[in-house]
Amino acid sequence: MEYTEENIGDIVDIKTDSGSYLQERIVMVYCELCSANFIGPINRAGAFLARHDAFHQWEFKIETRKDMIA
């Protein structure tokens, strides 16, 4: 399924191998650190935000470590 801005606000049921997500709302979220956008069901939007958060925390950690060495 492909989601566009036209789908925002839709309530959908999504069936996957690992389970069925019922009454999921389609939302648009963005990462406040790199401004990447995501349109899709809330449970995926949460994963998108968590992954960006994990990545940017890693990025920050690496940068901090470089500063400590230099």
Instruction: Label the pairing between strands 37-41 and 11-16.
Output: unpaired
The verdict on 38 binding Zn ion (CB under 5 A) reads no
The verdict on 34 binding Zn ion (CB under 5 A) reads yes
Minimum Å distance from CB 32 to Zn ion?
8
Indicate which single residue of 14, 29, 31, 42 sits in contact with Zn ion (rule: CB under 5 A): 31
The verdict on 49 binding Zn ion (CB under 5 A) reads no
Query: Alpha-carbon distance 34 to 67, whole Å?
Result: 21
Strands (E), the chain: 11-16, 19-30, 37-41
Per CB under 5 A, which of residues 1..30 are in contact with Zn ion?
Answer: none
Interface with Zn ion by CB under 5 A: which residues?
Answer: 31, 33-34, 36, 52
